[in-house]
Amino acid sequence: MLAVRDASVELADRTLWHDLCLELSAGERLVVDGPSGSGKTVLLRAIAGLDEFSTGSCEFRGRPRQEWSMPAYRAQVMYVPQRAALHAGTVADTLVAPFGFAIHKGKEFKAEAAEELLAELGRPAGLLASPTENLSGGELQSVLLVRALLLEPTVLLLDEVASALDPELADAVERMLISWSQAPERALVWVGHDPASQSRLGTAVLPVTGPYPPMAQP
């Protein structure tokens, strides 16, 4: 479904990683493992087209990412950040907004589906009426995940999406994502620091090392 080949990223005078390759198949849950500062978030953002690889390529369904329109690509390969600024309004407003984009034409927001997803994450249906500015860090992460799932992507790129949750709610996220990935033509890439969570969730592991020290000047 998704492949990255011979990729590297350089920031300032340092190489975060190089010669990185991955292949993601349907049903797979790939854990990206590495120390803080090794470029795990950069990898997800580069796959999503939010940052660029310095070298290498990315393919989705056998086609180079450049052959996809970016809205069509990101509707299928969806990045879910650890945090994001939301527009003023209610949680329901935030969840409804993407359905107005042309790329999601034909999809319909259903409050019942949103309530079911929130319930699976241990959140009350009443959260839909909460102002976005009043959300806690954990509530924000639940809302961002629900927003992505409602849009029915093929690949999820998940960046520390349970970092602000207590263990019980984090377990609910894991159960939801495992179930989600078992439907046809779905897969995910997970970045998180909890080894136990990585072990429970992952079907494969991609080690990422770096950053590498600057090269000596001649």
> Phi, psi at residue 136, to the nearest 5°?
-75, 170
Which tokens hold the place of 41? 């978030």
pLDDT in tens, the chain (218 residues): 999 999 999 988 788 889 999 999 999 999 999 988 889 999 999 999 999 999 999 999 999 999 999 999 999 999 999 999 999 999 999 999 999 999 999 999 999 999 999 999 999 999 999 999 999 999 999 999 999 999 999 999 999 999 999 999 999 999 999 999 999 999 999 999 888 899 999 999 999 986 665 544 44
In a domain, 216, yes or no: no
- The answer to whether residues 47 and 206 touch, using CB atoms and an 8 Å cutoff, is no
CATH of the domain at 26: 3.40.50.300
Residue 35 lies in a domain: yes
Q: Is residue 179 part of a domain?
A: yes
Which value, in Å, is the radius of gyration of the alpha carbons in the chain?
18
The SS3 of residue 60 is strand
Considering Cα of 45, then 210, then 24, then 170, what sign does the dihedral take? negative
Round to whole Å and give the CA distance between 138 and 9: 31
